[in-house]
Amino acid sequence: MDTPGWRISGGSPLRDRLPRVATVARVIPETSKVTTFVLDAAIKARPGQFLMVWLPGVNEKPFSIVCPDPLTITVANVGNFTAALHRLVPGERLWYRGALGRGFRLSGRDILLVAGGYGAAPLHFLALAARDSGMAVRVALGARAQEDLLFPGRFAGLGCRVWTCTEDGSFGESGLVTDLLQSLADQHRPGSVYACGPQAMLQAVAGICEARGIPYQVSMERYMRCGMGLCGSCAVAGRRVCRDGPVFSRLPPGS
Amino acid sequence: MDTPGWRISGGSPLRDRLPRVATVARVIPETSKVTTFVLDAAIKARPGQFLMVWLPGVNEKPFSIVCPDPLTITVANVGNFTAALHRLVPGERLWYRGALGRGFRLSGRDILLVAGGYGAAPLHFLALAARDSGMAVRVALGARAQEDLLFPGRFAGLGCRVWTCTEDGSFGESGLVTDLLQSLADQHRPGSVYACGPQAMLQAVAGICEARGIPYQVSMERYMRCGMGLCGSCAVAGRRVCRDGPVFSRLPPGS
Amino acid sequence: MSRLDLSVTICGVLLKNPFVLASGILGTGAAILERVARSGAGAVTAKSYGPGPRAGYPNPTVLDWGSGLINAVGLPNPGVEVGVGELLETKERLRPLGVPLIASFFADTVKGYGEVARTIAQAGPDLLEINISCPNVEDEFGQPFAADPRAAAQVTLEVKRATSLPAIVKLSPNVADIKAIARAVEQAGADAISAINTLGPGMVIDIEAGRPILAHRVGGISGPAIRPIAVRCVYDICSAVSIPVIGIGGVLRGQDAVEMIMAGASAVGIGSAVYYRGPGVFKRLEVELSTYMEAHGYARLADFRGVALEG
Amino acid sequence: MSRLDLSVTICGVLLKNPFVLASGILGTGAAILERVARSGAGAVTAKSYGPGPRAGYPNPTVLDWGSGLINAVGLPNPGVEVGVGELLETKERLRPLGVPLIASFFADTVKGYGEVARTIAQAGPDLLEINISCPNVEDEFGQPFAADPRAAAQVTLEVKRATSLPAIVKLSPNVADIKAIARAVEQAGADAISAINTLGPGMVIDIEAGRPILAHRVGGISGPAIRPIAVRCVYDICSAVSIPVIGIGGVLRGQDAVEMIMAGASAVGIGSAVYYRGPGVFKRLEVELSTYMEAHGYARLADFRGVALEG
Ligand SMILES: Cc1cc2nc3c(=O)[nH]c(=O)nc-3n(C[C@H](O)[C@H](O)[C@H](O)COP(=O)(O)OP(=O)(O)OC[C@H]3O[C@@H](n4cnc5c(N)ncnc54)[C@H](O)[C@@H]3O)c2cc1C
Ligand SMILES: Cc1cc2nc3c(=O)[nH]c(=O)nc-3n(C[C@H](O)[C@H](O)[C@H](O)COP(=O)(O)OP(=O)(O)OC[C@H]3O[C@@H](n4cnc5c(N)ncnc54)[C@H](O)[C@@H]3O)c2cc1C
Ligand SMILES: Cc1cc2nc3c(=O)[nH]c(=O)nc-3n(C[C@H](O)[C@H](O)[C@H](O)COP(=O)(O)O)c2cc1C
Ligand SMILES: Cc1cc2nc3c(=O)[nH]c(=O)nc-3n(C[C@H](O)[C@H](O)[C@H](O)COP(=O)(O)O)c2cc1C
Ligand code: FES
Ligand code: FES
């Protein structure tokens, strides 16, 4: 018979915090550079949390959770690791640690999501949760050109009202997603704004919302090593993006 | 904020299995050689389980639990360690690991306890539990002489019917407690016999009960090191007294 | 599970599964070793016998400090003369079960190792295990044989000269370069290596008493806490030598055993797990290992042994 | 708790409590070190800087394997030239808080240690910490400075010649005789010792991938698993030298810190606990330590420091 409590005392079963394996069930091309990977796994997670995805022999990097069940990530091909991910075909495997980090806190009756590039990834999970709590969800999507717009159909399918804009004017409004935010914020005054995208975009979002007194939350990116709040690699203005974030309810000063 | 589960993952809090300190609250002389120590501690335990009692700088040895709340042990002064225990006065401290081992399984409506020497210690705890389950409890106590008889008053106080015998005939019947058992077993045919005492006595008890088809349980003693089923010091006929026992529902063959 | 073959042959001795009871765990007598064999162990190691009787240290000798165990038992044993009798009876009882007996021993001089080996061989164990984690009384610094490649090799040579039984040398992790020790004993004729013995030493202080809890103050660490160290040692040893290795240290579950085998181990020693999961651990390890192998399409241990060493 | 005095003075530097953020934990920049100081640390150690920029190893670099952590980060740092600027800003921010700054550094030659020390001293840290757990490229076996008393002493001498700042030497547990190293660095002029750096190395293998998880394959063990080893090292060092010792390794709770202090430590390093309990751990350790001291009638740390060494 096991010692009562050996699982605790022994610690051995706590391989849980080590990477877990999952098989790629489906690969969905989203844009020319972005692909979605649906895994044969399901986890408990809150919108905004992320995974550390490991490809043995390659590297381990952070990716937002797009959907917890089936576990899904959406990846932009921007370098070595993401290229290796893009070579995965259904039946092949990847490993993940997580869900990690602090996610979004849902509040307000009608909310506005602002996504630049693959920033749409964590916001998709947020939209899923917001829909389940019966919130009204507006989404502002921005990209360079029409072919780079991520998830317009998915958000619409969830019952969100979607506005789009492209820098080259090839689809929707012409300009930056922050211009879109500005006009939407003034027209509708959302209860809360949730944003994810490049640092410059987040800075603009913060400025717009702070000027109008609209509460906002942003999901940030920083280079990560441990992903567990220990090594300090991801620190920005004294906050650890991997553990105190990646979602912050205001942009850390000086970030 | 603590990592959820750090207590489990970290393991550190599991100093629980290390010795715990307790203060001696009362010291009760029982016989010329036997003393009871009441501690300012309470534990969860089953009758028949034991403690490993540590005196820093002296040794660590096994003692039966006489009562779990307040935690109580009864000690015969037979050597170095027990002499050191006997020098403890109220306010001084000892350390213990436990409750350890497998205790008695209570069964039957009327039971007979057979104690030789300080074997009365674990049987006292058993009598407490039997009384709480409304069983009829008979007790046969044996000792060399009247002044060595342990707990006759305590058992009587619990509502048990007590028979005593001494080898020198100075009190109760004259003879061995196993003689007493023989006549009681024939007169009353108890549902179960529970015995604790020297090995020779246990052997006789086993013989008597097996001849009559009476279920019995014996609590054995062996020299112990780890007290946790690992080192094999206490092994008898392939069984570890510290973990498979000290209570056995039949005497291990060849023990 | 009928397709699965969990057996392994070490130095010509067949183990029906890779799980070996480690020395110093339960191995105090014939009856308890028979029980462990019946519980499903692939082989059993008796406690370490030395040249003469030793009382061992006073208690406390073994503790669970939360993430593992610590022990300073002090090699209590009745001496090899008495040991031969115990081992003979053990071998007798194990023979019908087809479970090999490993006889562990130690000494405090190189010559002593040869003498104890010669005596213990009379019991006819299947394998000898040389416990070299003892202080070398001839060494001016008194460091254990295990820490010095030359001393470890001398002991191995001496034992190989004294008997014709296959000899396993058990290595300590508390050394500067375990590969060097492994190579030295392989060259000296070791037939196999087991690793690791306990880590450290360590110390646990009781903050009420203000003193170390173990009577010996310090003790060797075993159990879950040492698993990554043990795996690295096995990996290092297997990348340095070609004799078989028994991987020991912190193995509690089938997955842990798979890890050891992937690091190159041929068999897997089970020590502290007997505390954490009871003597029934052998059967359960076999089930867990089999389940893993079936799920991964492995038919025998060789299919994944040492895969972590590649690439 | 007003009667309690948790302060300690090490090499003339006052710490308001004994809890020191260990090197390599969070210490990547001024803002995060300020945050740790504000969270209640008695002193903070920045990450180790080396002679030139290093990228460190690819990921995975840090893992929680169940009973502790394993890491192979590879000392990523921008080099000491950039480091001086980071440390200057850090010192600036810490000054008003009264929290001393410890600057950690490494090199791969004895001379290199002197040069890095001279540069880093320009930032005006309160204490230097010499990380000697790096391979000595001049040694024919490439073994770390930490494993060789002579090399450890040479590094200490060189640093003491290069600067007038008090120098702590950080020892590795992965050595044959830690007392010998401690004595050697004390004689060479070390003002204090910190111990231990990570244990091992160890290895964790993923049994699905069939390979070590860390990109570097092996890594140093920290956290709960190493506490008894760290306590024994501190105990050994304190029984060998008379300079103050910062005890590091597996301290998660106030009781663990008491254990370290009873083994002789003057201060207590906090590393992995930041993962297990968050940066708020410093405040909580202070409460736990104070509670213990009150319950036992201790007014200052000296009242129980080293008691386990006696008798
Ligand atoms: C919390 C979090 C969530 C994320 N979620 C997603 C997601 O859902 N989908 C997704 O596609 N990506 C996501 N990312 C980003 C993703 O981790 C990176 O794109 C990925 O690590 C790139 O790895 P690579 O090896 O392919 O590219 P790399 O070769 O590492 O670099 C790719 C690009 O990033 C630049 N770069 C690299 N390192 C840095 C740095 N330290 N600072 C600034 N620029 C740098 C390079 O110059 C290059 O242009 C997330 C990141 C974080 C922190
Ligand atoms: C499960 C269990 C429960 C126990 N409960 C109690 C209890 O409630 N009260 C109580 O007083 N005692 C109890 N004991 C016995 C108690 O542990 C011993 O009396 C005690 O260890 C003696 O220690 P010592 O140092 O005082 O005596 P020691 O000096 O160790 O010896 C005392 C006597 O025992 C003999 N002796 C020592 N070792 C052995 C051995 N291996 N085999 C045979 N004889 C030996 C000695 O020769 C001497 O006569 C229990 C033992 C066990 C195993
Ligand atoms: C209580 C105890 C006693 C031990 N005695 C011996 C011994 O006599 N000889 C020996 O070679 N190893 C001895 N060991 C070491 C084990 O055989 C084994 O190498 C070590 O415990 C690591 O394995 P584990 O983590 O599975 O316990 C002992 C270990 C423990 C815990
Ligand atoms: C992720 C990580 C990085 C580390 N980096 C360094 C370092 O750069 N320099 C150093 O001297 N020690 C470094 N260490 C060792 C710690 O300072 C500390 O000595 C060790 O982790 C033991 O303490 P702990 O158990 O409290 O973590 C590092 C430890 C970890 C976990
Ligand atoms: S990645 Fe290490 S602290 Fe965030
Ligand atoms: S005392 Fe160690 S097994 Fe019983």
- Residue after which a domain boundary falls, among B75, B100, B125: B100
Distance CA C174, CA C212 (A): 21
Query: Does the structure show a pLDDT above 90 at B19?
Result: yes
Clarify whether residues A145 and A45 are in a common domain: no
Task: Please report whether residue B166 resides in a domain.
Answer: yes
Is C134 catalytic? The answer is: yes
Residue range of the domain that includes B165: 110-219
**Would the CB of A236 count as within 6 Å of ligand 5?**
no
pLDDT band of residue B188 (cuts 50, 70, 90) is: confident
Block residue for tokens 């169940």: D66
Tell me whether residues B3 and D276 touch, CB distance under 8 A: yes
Where are the domains positioned within chain D?
8-310
Clarify whether residues B207 and B119 are in a common domain: yes
Clarify whether residues B161 and B214 are in a common domain: yes
Task: Please report whether residue A3 resides in a domain.
Answer: no
- Angstroms from D161 CA to nearest CA on chain C: 30
Average pLDDT, chain C: 96
DSSP assignment of B14-52: GGGGS-EEEEEEEEEE-SSSEEEEEES------TT-EEE
Q: What residues flank ligand 6, with Cβ below 6 Å?
A: B 224-227, 229-234, 240, 242
Clarify whether residues B116 and B204 are in a common domain: yes
In the prediction, which pLDDT does C243 show?
A: 98
DSSP assignment of D98-155: T--EEEEE--SSHHHHHHHHHHHHTT--SEEEEE--SB-TTSTT--BGGG-HHHHHHH
Q: Where residue B188 sits, what CATH number does that domain have?
A: 3.40.50.80
**Would the CB of A231 count as within 6 Å of ligand 5?**
yes
Clarify whether residues B125 and B24 are in a common domain: no
B150: CB partners within 8 A, 6+ apart: B30, B31, B34, B74, B115, B117, B118, B120, B121, B141, B143
Quick count: other Cβ atoms within 10 Å of Cβ A37?
24
Clarify whether residues A150 and A206 are in a common domain: yes
Clarify whether residues A41 and A121 are in a common domain: no
Clarify whether residues B119 and B207 are in a common domain: yes
- Please name which ligand lies nearest the alpha carbon of B220: 2
Query: Does the structure show a pLDDT above 90 at C306?
Result: yes
Query: Does the structure show a pLDDT above 80 at C252?
Result: yes
pTM above 0.90, yes or no: yes
Q: Are the CB atoms for D132 and D112 separated by under 8 Å?
A: no
Task: Please report whether residue A4 resides in a domain.
Answer: no
Q: Which helix (H) or strand (E) holds C275?
A: helix C273-277
Block residue for tokens 């000494």: C107
Quick count: other Cβ atoms within 10 Å of Cβ A252?
18
Clarify whether residues B75 and B150 are in a common domain: no
CA distances from residue C308 to A17, C302, D104, D208 in whole angstroms, order as listed:
20, 13, 35, 11
The hierarchical CATH code for the domain D8-310 is 3.20.20.70
Block residue for tokens 């494993």: D147
Clarify whether residues B119 and B209 are in a common domain: yes
Clarify whether residues B119 and B67 are in a common domain: no
Task: Please report whether residue A13 resides in a domain.
Answer: no
Tell me whether residues D206 and A19 touch, CB distance under 8 A: yes
Distance CA A222, CA A220 (A): 7
Task: Please report whether residue A237 resides in a domain.
Answer: no
Out of A95, A225, A240, name the one closest to residue D73 (CB). A225
pLDDT, one tens digit for every residue, chain D (311 residues): 458 999 999 999 999 999 999 999 998 999 999 999 999 999 999 999 999 999 999 999 999 999 999 999 999 999 999 999 999 999 999 999 999 999 999 999 999 999 999 999 999 999 999 999 987 777 777 788 999 999 999 999 999 999 999 999 999 999 989 999 999 999 999 999 999 999 999 999 999 999 999 999 999 999 999 999 999 999 999 999 999 999 999 999 999 999 999 999 999 999 999 999 999 999 999 999 999 999 999 999 999 999 999 86
Torsion region of D93: left, alpha or beta (phi above 0 gives left; psi -120 to 50 gives alpha): alpha
What is the domain count for chain A? 2
- Which chain A residues contact residue C292 at CB under 8 A? none
pLDDT tens figures, B83-111: 999 999 999 999 999 999 999 999 888 99
C35 in contact with B at a CB cutoff of 8 Å? yes
pLDDT tens figures, C256-299: 999 999 999 999 999 999 999 999 999 999 999 999 999 999 99
Q: Where residue B37 sits, what CATH number does that domain have?
A: 2.40.30.10
B134 in contact with A at a CB cutoff of 8 Å? no
Average pLDDT over residues C94-98: 97
